Structure 1
Amino acid sequence: MKDLKQFNIPFVGLKEGSHLFEYQIDKTFFEAFQFDEFNDVNIKADITFVKKSTLFELNFTVNGTVNVPCDVTNELFDLPINGSLDLVVKFGPEFNDEHDEILILPHEAYQINVAQYIYELIVLSVPTKRVHPSVTDGSMQSDALRRLEELRINEEKTVEEDSTDPRWDKLKDLLTDK
């Protein structure tokens, strides 16, 4: 976590108003958090920092791609992600980050580290099911997809299951004999 000093925003010297901070996120950023699910990362994170007299408003936006394996074929592909987060920073007697959208800093604080918020925003912007775009449009050719196609249940077999078994027909005769 000590490699993330460039994500500190010293707000003491900033004038009131809107300020823009831009960060380029790569794989080394996630190595600092010991997160290794992404093979490669190319994300631009923008933070609009609005300083007011008693509080700060931070608007995080991330745009870019992460290289991940497909959940269906295990092929690597660049997954585009977009996300945004709004955060309000207030001051109080002690640090408190229990609320998702409100951060309370102690009165003596002079800077805020935004690395954790960027990390969480990127990780939560990745969908839980990651499917290669060529799989969804049907143009991908891979061994895994060919094997899945071979093992797919044919609809003709399900029609045969709807007909009754002749052994059960004998039991039905017992009901009609009464």
Structure 2
Amino acid sequence: MISEKDFLIQFSGLKVGKHQFEYQIDKDFFNLFEYDEYNGADIVVKVLLNKKSTMLELSFQHKGTVNVPCDITNEDFDLPIKGNLSLLVKFGEEFNDENDAFLILPHGEFQMSVAQYIYEMIVLSVPQKRIHPGVKDGTLESPTLDYLSHQADEEPKEENKETDPRWDKLKQLLTDK
């Protein structure tokens, strides 16, 4: 079982310089945030921490797939995703995460959780419209696609051709110029 403690980075014991952390993200990770948009996930997240004497620089990168339903056919498929995020951590009087570009931790803090940043980075890298690659290239066999293509092939019904003579006179005004 995954917990938020798995994503704590204790930076106080680290030497000044670069340190790399790697996390394997699956469906259980999203359960921490009660987010159930994905049927499954297989994502590798790499966090590069550059510790300096007065601040921390974090660079997040992720690459993998999330299993989601197609918005057109409702067929499940693995959607490839990737992205990155940079975060600057400074130290101050009190905790402040109002700015997206940097985080202020209180003096004396010795660890920080990166779970929220990983979660936001992954969720924001998934496109809002999710279309199965088989729909794009025409190789997907689906009853939904068959139905949609059948509806598009049908001829539109003939409407009553009789129009109001007043509208006809108004239309003539446009064409008589």
TM-score, with structure 2 as normaliser: 0.88
> Offset of 1:168 from its aligned partner?
4.7
Unaligned runs of 5+ in 2: none
Partner of 2:127: 127
C-alpha distance in structure 2 between counterparts of 1:116 and 1:16, whole Å: 24
Q: Who is 2:49 aligned against?
A: 49
CA offset at residue 125 of structure 1? 0.6
Using the alignment, how far apart are the partners of 1:126 and 1:17 within structure 2? Answer: 32
**Inter-partner Cα distance in structure 2 for 1:116 and 1:171:** 61
Residues 131 and 172 of structure 1: CA distance in aligned 2, closer, same or farther (over 3 Å) = closer
CA distance in 1, matches of 2:41, 2:169: 69
Structure 1 ranges of 4+ moved more than 6 A = 173-176
Amino acid at match of 1:19: H
**2:79 matched residue in structure 1:** 79
Aligned pairs, number: 171
Structure 1 Cα separation of the partners of residues 147 and 60 of structure 2: 43
Quote the sequence identity (%).
54
Give me the CA root mean square deviation.
2.5
Equivalent residues in 2 for 1:157-168 (5 A)?
Answer: 165=161, 167-168=163-164
Tell me the CA shift for residue 167 of structure 1.
3.8
1:169–1:96 distance in 2 versus 1, CA, 3 Å: same
1 CA distance for matches of 2:85 and 2:108?
Answer: 25
TM-score relative to the length of structure 1: 0.87
> What stretches of structure 1 of length at least 5 have no aligned partner?
none
